[in-house]
Structure 1
Amino acid sequence: MIGVTGILKSLPITFPLSFAENSGNMIHGDVPFRMFRESYLAIDRSWPGYDEGDRFKDFVNGSCTHVVITCANMFRANDFGPNIRKRYVKLEEMLSGYKKPVILFGLGVQAAEQDLSKVDFPPEAISAMQAISEKAHSVSVRGEFTKSVLAKYTNVDNVFVTGCPSFFSAPESFTQLQANLSHLKSNDSPRFSFSGTHFNKKYEQRLLLKAIQGNGFLIEPQNKDNYIFHRESLDNPELVQVPDHFRNLLTGPRPELSRAELVEFFSNRFKMFRDIKPWDEFNREFIDFTFGTRFHVNMSSILSGKPALWLTHDSRTRELAQTLNLPSLEIEEASSMDMSEIIESADYSALFDNLDNMFETFNDFLRHSDLPTVAMPRLS
């Protein structure tokens, strides 16, 4: 048995109104359960023999071979706020008390740019990094930049640059992806979805406009204001208040969009998911192509066998795209293209050419961790 803690693999009904989270993290949080039989999540309290009051660490130490900690944007460069400091203290506490091998999945550092000379961290972060080097048996990191940050502050020597582990969680999807990519390039009317992060920025507004005008979908993994706008557009379309970050689309001497068009789009083409299964079913049934800035929205697409294009706007997305050879464009460039050009830019040749090597690197990490390896993908 394997204990798992860290990221949730499903979200409560209170998300996103009173439970703040990014639903894209579910894609990452579900990885150990896709890869390993008899995996048990700490927060579920459903592990064998559980009685009220039992501690997860006691279950791991007594019954499991490993504990896997799923990580995401764990370290944020140049953020000295109280909330992030508490996160680092919690991580260090999470690492302590285990007598079985601790394996970290997908650790990442988020920074404005990948320049070691420009990153700094509070003492709590450095202490947490040192705890990782001392207590983790193996560490999967999202890219070379994250590895270099750990090397700067610790003597950690058990780090494997794998990219996001979710990429390796459904090897069979790459066969489907290859076939669907071929169909996409010859499809005159592809169905697509878009995801964004900063809707007050002009580049993302241009891309959202393309989604609206092209009858696409908006996949929203986090933004509470967008979710409220969707719900109120359904309940009271005449009186719903448009979020401030969309107002530029509706104002000026020649507005690019009418209020009615925006409300109709959010009524009918907005999607937010709390579980992975309906998300996968949606992708398979209604989508031919996904693009946008949200890393795991795009990842969910290729795990469903549907092509995606990553629009990069920060060091995190660039690092992951580089490590995994994902098709990507800078968001500024994409915003000036039409949809046919965006789709044509989804070049998967580097990904397919390097797929076996990337899977072998991830399996090296799993072997070092004494965990079962994943199957190699089969391409035609």
Structure 2
Amino acid sequence: MSRILLRAGKSPFQVLSPERSLAVGRVGVFGANSGNLLFSSAVHRTVSVPGAEVVTDGFVLQSLKRVPRTAAYVDERFDQLVLPFANAFRAGFTRQLDTYSDLIERLRVPVVVVGVGAQMGFHADRPEAGSDLDASVSRFVRAVLDHSASIGVRGERTAAYLARLGFSAPHVDVIGCPSLFTDADGFRVEPREVDASSRIDLTYTSGLESLVERSAADYPRLEFVAQEHHRLRLLLQGLDPEGYDGRGLLGSGHRLYREDRVRFFVDARTWVDHLRDFSFAFGTRIHGSIAAILARVPAVVLSYDSRTLELAQYHGIPYRDFHALPDDVTVEDLVAGTDYSAFNARFPELAAHYRAFLETNGIEHIWSPGAANPEYDARLAALDLPGPVGVAGASDRTPPLEPIGHSAVSELVALRRAEKAP
């Protein structure tokens, strides 16, 4: 049996209440942004071939203090280390990148990076952090390429940035976001009729106040699906973020909060399932849009930086330049400009390329001949996962707190404690 150590906040099979999900670590089990659940869960499913054991690290690896013994631990107990990432090439993640480099440089097992990206401005050609980040990224990429054939990046902008650092094809492979590759044969997103009675999904970071206000008034069934840990804290505990001035979507003063039209999900499956009868989705969160797409709901990304732009362009997801949106733009305008013909046509080729990337890097996947794992989906569907969290913690299914159990998370935490002992 092969054992794969996977970078993820939790396994898709770990049933944690919203309260427990928020309490794990400083920023929740999902690492401050629940969008992380989508791509880590997708990779978990993809590599869960019969005979493989996939163990999640609980984000322990990126915060190690003493690395050598951990490297020996990973080499002894695992056959591969698989690292799904999002916008890891950014100033705020430099320390974690250096920790990963320190670890990977000591490993003997293969290490495969899936979907990593650089965080840059909408029109920028490199991150603003400068030479310090460049040095950390270069070290990390060199370490990974010593352990795999190529590194999988999320888009052309990231590939261009790495090319300026001296890394290019075939060692840098643009593969998009693994969260979208859930079916080997692809799937289609078709238009849905939108009227005042439609369910509308809003994803949001900041800005867009006039559009949000109009849309909330015009569409009584519009819901804001939040992703940041501090929004989950507001829903569960009623605590406004520090410095909240009573306006905007950041706190309890907004009509969407007062009318219980804010939702949060702590599992990828329940998030996607919740959206299946929605008619349209829009907003600035790329994985919020991807959740809708996985539910076959048309979504338009209001792209404000390179990380959202390059994924939308690569996959053919409809997008609008956030910075160029007119003040009077409406949902009707966004619906009228949302065309999924490019996405539908491109999907089979991109999915085949993703599978080729996995195979080039020695990763067995569920789309290989004889490697399908229908029991995985059946087991996941049978779980009683918590439902959407609403205002004051309202949820249609909130299971009792469950222990995380014996896994690589507990083993690695125990190892780190042992390393700190005198």
Separation in 2 of the partners of 1:329 and 1:124?
29
**Selected match of 1:42 from 50, 57, 65:** 57
Residue 301 (structure 1) aligned with residue 292 (structure 2): yes
Q: Which residue of 2 aligns with 1:112?
A: 121
Residue 221 (structure 1) aligned with residue 227 (structure 2): yes
Separation in 2 of the partners of 1:44 and 1:129?
22
Secondary structure in 1 aligned to 2:115? strand
Residues 327 and 244 (structure 1 numbering): CA distance in 2 closer, same or farther, change over 3 Å?
Answer: same
Q: Which residue of 1 aligns with 2:333?
A: 341
Render the CA deviation track for 1:3-48: whole Å, top value 9, x for unaligned: 2343324677355577321011111111221101232212399xxx
Letter in 1 for 2:295: S
**Selected match of 1:26 from 29, 37, 47:** 37
Q: Which residue of 1 aligns with 2:388?
A: none
Secondary structure in 1 aligned to 2:108? coil
Separation in 1 of the partners of 2:275 and 2:305?
26
Q: Which runs of 5+ in 2 are unaligned?
A: 61-68, 369-422
Residues 174-193 of structure 1 mapped to structure 2, 5 A cutoff: 175=187, 177-178=188-189, 181-182=190-191, 184-185=192-193, 189-193=197-201
Note if contact 1:211-1:218 (Cα within 8 Å) is conserved in structure 2: no
Residue 95 (structure 1) aligned with residue 125 (structure 2): no
- Cα distance, 1:117 vs structure 2: 6.8
Q: Which residue of 1 aligns with 2:19?
A: 13
Letter in 2 for 1:72: A
Residues 313 and 293 (structure 1 numbering): CA distance in 2 closer, same or farther, change over 3 Å?
Answer: same
Residue 264 (structure 1) aligned with residue 262 (structure 2): no
- Cα distance, 1:342 vs structure 2: 1.7
Separation in 1 of the partners of 2:144 and 2:257?
51
**Selected match of 1:148 from 160, 163, 166:** 160
Q: Normalising by structure 1, what TM-score? A: 0.76
Residue 350 (structure 1) aligned with residue 366 (structure 2): no
Residues 191 and 70 (structure 1 numbering): CA distance in 2 closer, same or farther, change over 3 Å?
Answer: same
Secondary structure in 2 aligned to 1:300? helix
Note if contact 1:309-1:346 (Cα within 8 Å) is conserved in structure 2: yes
Residues 155 and 353 (structure 1 numbering): CA distance in 2 closer, same or farther, change over 3 Å?
Answer: closer
Separation in 2 of the partners of 1:19 and 1:365?
34
Separation in 2 of the partners of 1:246 and 1:290?
26
Residues 118 and 14 (structure 1 numbering): CA distance in 2 closer, same or farther, change over 3 Å?
Answer: closer
Separation in 2 of the partners of 1:262 and 1:320?
29
Separation in 2 of the partners of 1:283 and 1:248?
24
Residues 67-216 of structure 1 mapped to structure 2, 5 A cutoff: 67-76=81-90, 79=91, 84-116=93-125, 119-123=128-132, 125-136=134-145, 137=148, 138-155=150-167, 157=169, 158-171=171-184, 175=187, 177-178=188-189, 181-182=190-191, 184-185=192-193, 189-198=197-206, 201=207, 204-213=208-217, 214-215=219-220, 216=222
Secondary structure in 1 aligned to 2:364? coil
Secondary structure in 2 aligned to 1:218? strand
Note if contact 1:220-1:271 (Cα within 8 Å) is conserved in structure 2: yes
Separation in 2 of the partners of 1:88 and 1:33?
22
Q: Give the fraction of aligned pairs with identical amino acids, expressed as a percent.
A: 22
Residues 189 and 67 (structure 1 numbering): CA distance in 2 closer, same or farther, change over 3 Å?
Answer: same
Secondary structure in 2 aligned to 1:75? coil
Note if contact 2:47-2:365 (Cα within 8 Å) is conserved in structure 1: no
Letter in 1 for 2:329: M
Secondary structure in 2 aligned to 1:116? coil
Note if contact 2:119-2:306 (Cα within 8 Å) is conserved in structure 1: yes
Separation in 1 of the partners of 2:26 and 2:37?
14
Letter in 2 for 1:205: E
Render the CA deviation track for 1:252-294: whole Å, top value 9, x for unaligned: xxxxxxx6845533xx21111112222122122x523221101
Q: Which residue of 1 aligns with 2:247?
A: 247
Separation in 2 of the partners of 1:246 and 1:170?
43
Q: Which residue of 2 aligns with 1:371?
A: 363
Q: Normalising by structure 2, what TM-score? A: 0.69
Separation in 2 of the partners of 1:310 and 1:171?
24
- Cα distance, 1:245 vs structure 2: 5.7
**Selected match of 1:359 from 328, 333, 351:** 351
Residues 334 and 351 (structure 1 numbering): CA distance in 2 closer, same or farther, change over 3 Å?
Answer: farther
> Which deviates more from structure 2 when the two are superposed, residues 300-309 or residues 21-30?
300-309
Separation in 1 of the partners of 2:327 and 2:151?
36
Render the CA deviation track for 1:223-263: whole Å, top value 9, x for unaligned: 61x44554567x9xxxx9997465379xxxxxxxxx68455
Note if contact 2:134-2:165 (Cα within 8 Å) is conserved in structure 1: no
Note if contact 1:185-1:344 (Cα within 8 Å) is conserved in structure 2: no
- Asked which structure has the greater RCO (Cα within 8 Å, sep 6+), the reply is 2
Q: Which residue of 1 aligns with 2:75?
A: 61
- Cα distance, 1:125 vs structure 2: 4.5
Secondary structure in 1 aligned to 2:176? coil
Secondary structure in 1 aligned to 2:8? coil
